[in-house]
Amino acid sequence: MKLDTSQSSPAESYKLLTNLIVPRPLAWITTQNADGLVNLAPFSFFTAVANKPLYLMVSIGQYEDGRPKDTARNILDNGEFVVNLVTEDVFDAMNISGADFPPDVSELSMAGVQTAPSVKIAVPRVAQAHASLECKLFSHQALGNYTLVIGEVLMFHIDDALVGPNNRIQGFTPVARMGSPSTYCRTTDCFDIPRVTYAQLKS
């Protein structure tokens, strides 16, 4: 199959893109609005993008009627968010938090999620998450009907049980998005292969 994206509908192209660029990790993001209401929603257009300083990015679309999603609006309003990572034990709560809640309703109680305070920002993190990253907005860029948000990671919260010698993360098994709309995968089947150098290849 060959498909010229200029000849396909946005919905068809989106389906292909999001079923091919997989697996995508899940950023389960807490933000806060001007009244202090905590918002929670999952995003899979998400990855790490730099290390000095530490930057990550998440891309947030609009609702069908053109309204910004609450997560994007809150981040642009006050510049703070927490990326909580998603493991299977919090999967159902993550899924509930992705429903189309009105802006004045917090997803937290319906998803059975408790929060814990952050250290460097006012926005709290998800208490049940095994790892959370406190972030401050670095920059944002309109991408068609999406807003690309780049955040600087200010603080890690990681369950002690996941941190091995030399801060190597061990036993962390996040779930990831495979296809849209609702196929996921586990990350329990991993393998290690040492990186090769050019010198080794030449010898």
Ligand X SMILES: Cc1cc2nc3c(=O)[nH]c(=O)nc-3n(C[C@H](O)[C@H](O)[C@H](O)COP(=O)(O)O)c2cc1C
**Which is it for the CA torsion 119, 69, 91, 181, positive or negative?**
negative
| Interface size with ligand X, residues (CB under 6 A) | 17
Query: In the complex, what is the shortest distance from the CB of residue 54 to ligand X, in angstroms, rounded to a whole number?
Result: 20
Q: Give, in degrees to the nearest 5, the angle at Cα 111 between 14 and 84.
A: 65
The beta strands (E) that lie in 17-77 are given as: 24-25, 27-32, 38-43, 46-51, 54-60
Query: In the complex, what is the shortest distance from the CB of residue 126 to ligand X, in angstroms, rounded to a whole number?
Result: 14
Query: In the complex, what is the shortest distance from the CB of residue 93 to ligand X, in angstroms, rounded to a whole number?
Result: 11
Which residue from 60, 85, 113, 131 is in contact with ligand X, where contact means CB under 6 A? 60
Which residue from 30, 32, 42, 81 is in contact with ligand X, where contact means CB under 6 A? 42
Q: Which of 85, 83, 87 is nearest to 155 (CA)?
A: 83
For 81, the 3-state DSSP assignment is strand
Which residue from 30, 32, 39, 132 is in contact with ligand X, where contact means CB under 6 A? 39
Q: Which of residues 124-153 bind ligand X (CB under 6 A)?
A: none
Integer CA distances (angstroms), 141 to 47, 63, 111, in order = 16, 17, 30
Q: Is 30 in the site for ligand X (CB under 6 A)?
A: no
Give the span between the Cα atoms of 21 and 34, in whole angstroms: 35
Using the rule CB under 6 A, give the single segment among 56-64, 77-85, 127-135, 137-145 that binds ligand X.
56-64
Q: Is 45 in the site for ligand X (CB under 6 A)?
A: yes
Q: Is 80 in the site for ligand X (CB under 6 A)?
A: no
Which residue from 16, 55, 88, 98 is in contact with ligand X, where contact means CB under 6 A? 98
By the 8 A CB rule, do 92 and 184 touch?
A: no
Which residues make up the interface to ligand X (CB under 6 A)? 26, 39, 41-45, 59-61, 69-71, 95, 98, 100, 177
